[in-house]
Amino acid sequence: MDNTSIYNQKELLLKIASGDRDAFHQLYDRYNTPLYNTVRKYIAEEDTSVDLVQQVFITIWERRRTLPDLEGFDDYIFKIALNSVRRYFRVLQRQARVDRNFTSEMDNSVSDPAELAELNEYMRLWNKAVEDLPEQQQLVYRMVELQGYTTGEVSGALDISKATAKKHLELSRRAVRRAIMNSIGENGGDPANGLVLLVLMISLKIFSD
């Protein structure tokens, strides 16, 4: 990179630090494709890659006041991207362990065939509701509800603000509950039964890691 480019980048970072959104959009246009190409080397899913790159820019904006003091911004922003990829895989690994424990707990906790069938149906609806969540909401939901993270820990792990983590959790919980209740109603069941099953699952600590 020549001296003019370095100067322009430093000027751009100063503007972003002062809250200039136009400057931030210029930064986005400059780095979006290179970051996406880097992330796609490790992540097969296009939507996940896009989400991870978007999170990089959210992190940059949240840390904008520190940008003028950085040496080597290129290294900095690509390091954030690669750290996001690492965190994503760590969450997937932890989720796989939780899923195995979940299945074991369910098999051991419910013995009545009719009750187990009802619980399995509820879990099918729950899994579909969670899988239908937007990527970031789903990630936050799983980390809190299945893995026992606090929103503060989610904030640190995903490099997002605590307020953002709380908002994702609030929206995801509301969406999951609504989807389950709607599915039960559409199938001619009693929505109250879904609540009973949810209470049963929590009391049996099926969500424990």
Query: Domain spans of the chain?
Result: 3-86, 110-203
Q: Model confidence over 27-86: pLDDT tens digits?
A: 999 999 999 999 999 888 888 888 889 889 988 998 899 999 888 999 999 999 998 888
Mean pLDDT score, 152-172: 86
Distance from C-alpha of 144 to C-alpha of 151, rounded to nearest angstrom: 7
CATH class, 3-86 region: mainly alpha
Kindly indicate whether the domain formed by 110-203 is annotated with CATH number 1.10.10.10: yes
Distance from C-alpha of 141 to C-alpha of 175, rounded to nearest angstrom: 11
Mean of all residue pLDDT scores within the chain: 77
Tokens read off for 153: 């820990």
Local confidence band at 162 (pLDDT 50, 70, 90 cut-offs): confident
Q: Model confidence over 125-136: pLDDT tens digits?
A: 888 888 899 888
Give the rounded distance of the alpha carbon of 10 from its chain centre: 31
Give the helix ranges, DSSP H, for the chain.
Answer: 3-17, 21-40, 46-62, 73-109, 113-131, 135-145, 151-158, 162-186, 191-203
